[in-house]
Structures are given as structure tokens and as C-alpha cells.
């Protein structure tokens, strides 16, 4: 399967977050070195690795390589600087995962150029803002969220956790409904939603919100011989 990446936030509404990419051979994917192809977005050179994409949205992207350690340390710095909570969300592919801070989104990885040869965002993907709202002068507490995109015939990917569906909604301008799931573990309020990308129904968008208060509870007897595609080394 080819590495697919649209490089944009297509299909995401403003209330959604993140970008994502997944493929069959994610382990072999190494992002191209950054700083070599920034003609669409000429960046100010700074010492810091984390920079806002623009002033209004306070989003950030990483400018150097995407090792987990690097991402973690960089984002931790940013979080402390902004006196903010931060979820270091990261997925195996290292190519495009987003986390969310109070000031907006943090890109945790870059992306390869788009599959159709277009050269929109060679080394990283664009981002739209999710502004944290204030309610009665207080910042609304929002669980860390992130999402990713997978080419799959199956809607609900096996991520090692047990989910119960609690809703389904038809969203405008899309053919496929969006499904809402909640983690079945007691006291765990993690939610997840699944939908197909309107522009490319082969792609599944999986969004997570919150942190599990427990470890994955995948029943091995079922998953071993199961037919569901699994997301290995997936953590958040």
C-alpha cells in the first residue's frame, strides 16, 4: 500500500483536531529532513524547534527530526513555557499526529508530500486552530485530543481498548455518518469517534479525546485470530 497523505486538514471541521496518517508499513517510514523544502511557508529561523504557524492560531510545528524523545522534550518545554497542560500524543507512524494544548494544536510530526504528487505541504501539514474557550472567565477544561487517518475498509480499528457506541450522527456535506464511542472501563471517560473522510471514503478518521486511566484491555483470545486490523505500538 502506498503511503497516503493529503497533507491538509481536509474533511475536518473547526471543532475537530489534528491530522493523521497511517499505513501498512509505518515502521519503515522516516520523515524527510525538515528545512529543505519550505518554499510555501518561509519560516523565521529561531533557536527553538517549536514555532507558531501563525500568530492568530498559536499553532506549532516541529522543525527538526521526529524522534519520540525529541517530540516529547520539545513539547514539554512548550507546555511549561505556556503554563499549560499538554498531552504528548504520538503514534507509531511518526508522520502526522497532533496533540492539543490550551493555545491550540501542536503538531507532533511532519508528513511526506501528498500521494498525488502535489506539493502542497512537503514536510509538514497545515493546521487549523482550535481555540480553547473560556467560560465565565475561566478556561474551559478540555481533555487532550488527537486523531489520525487510516486507509481501511473497517471503520472501527482495534486499538486495544474496549468501546461502547453511544451515538451516531449524520454530519452535513458527508455521505457517511459519524459514530461516537466511549471506553467501557469504569471511571474512564475516554471518547472516540469514527468517520470516513468525505473526500476519500477509503480513509477512516479516528479521533480520541481524553486519557485512559487504565491499560489496554484487549482480550487476546479474540484479537489474535481476529480480522480487525490492529494498531500496534499505539499509545497516548
Partner DNA sequence: CGTTTTTGACCAGCGC
Partner DNA sequence: GCGCTGGTCAAAAACG
How is the beta sheet containing 104-107 ordered, strand by strand? Answer: 50-52, 60-62, 104-107, 98-101
- Residues engaged in binding DNA (CB under 7 A): 13, 15-16, 133, 135, 162-172, 178, 180, 184, 191, 193
Q: Which is nearer to DNA, 15 or 42 (CB)?
A: 15
CA distance 42 to 121: 12
Least Cβ distance, residue 5 to DNA (angstroms):
24
Which three-class secondary structure state does DSSP give residue 208? Answer: strand
CA distance 101 to 115: 29
Q: Which is nearer to DNA, 39 or 164 (CB)?
A: 164
Phi, psi of 74, rounded to the nearest 5 degrees: -65, -45
Least Cβ distance, residue 158 to DNA (angstroms):
12
Least Cβ distance, residue 169 to DNA (angstroms):
5
Neighbour-count burial for 111-138, b at 16+ CB within 10 Å, e otherwise = bbbbeeeeeebbbbbbbbbbebeeeeee
Least Cβ distance, residue 164 to DNA (angstroms):
4
- Contact status, residue 19 vs residue 98, Cβ threshold 8 Å: yes
Least Cβ distance, residue 195 to DNA (angstroms):
8
Amino acid at each position: 500500500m502506498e503511503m497516503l497523505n493529503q497533507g491538509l486538514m481536509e474533511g475536518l471541521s473547526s471543532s475537530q483536531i489534528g491530522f493523521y496518517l497511517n499505513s501498512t508499513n509505518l515502521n519503515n517510514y522516516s520523515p524527510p529532513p525538515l528545512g529543505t523544502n519550505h518554499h510555501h511557508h518561509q519560516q523565521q529561523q529561531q533557536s527553538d524547534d517549536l514555532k507558531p504557524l501563525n500568530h492568530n492560531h498559536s499553532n506549532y510545528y516541529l522543525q527538526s527530526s521526529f524522534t519520540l524523545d525529541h517530540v516529547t522534550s520539545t513539547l514539554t518545554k512548550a507546555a511549561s513555557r505556556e503554563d499549560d497542560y499538554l498531552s504528548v500524543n504520538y503514534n507509531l507512524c511518526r508522520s502526522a499526529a497532533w496533540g492539543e494544548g490550551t493555545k491550540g494544536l501542536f503538531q507532533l510530526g511532519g508528513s511526506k508530500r501528498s500521494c498525488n504528487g502535489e506539493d502542497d505541504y512537503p514536510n509538514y501539514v497545515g493546521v487549523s486552530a482550535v481555540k480553547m474557550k473560556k467560560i465565565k472567565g475561566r478556561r474551559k477544561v478540555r481533555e487532550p485530543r488527537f486523531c489520525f487517518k487510516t486507509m481501511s475498509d473497517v471503520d472501527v480499528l482495534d486499538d486495544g481498548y474496549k468501546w461502547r457506541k453511544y451515538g451516531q450522527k449524520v454530519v452535513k456535506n458527508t455521505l457517511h455518518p459519524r459514530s461516537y464511542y466511549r471506553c467501557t472501563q469504569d471511571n474512564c471517560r475516554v471518547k472516540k469517534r469514527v468517520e470516513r473522510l468525505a473526500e476519500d471514503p477509503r480513509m477512516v478518521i479516528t479521533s480520541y479525546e481524553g486519557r485512559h486511566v487504565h491499560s489496554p484491555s484487549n482480550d487476546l483470545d479474540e484479537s489474535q485470530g481476529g480480522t480487525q486490523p490492529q494498531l500496534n505500538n499505539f499509545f497516548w
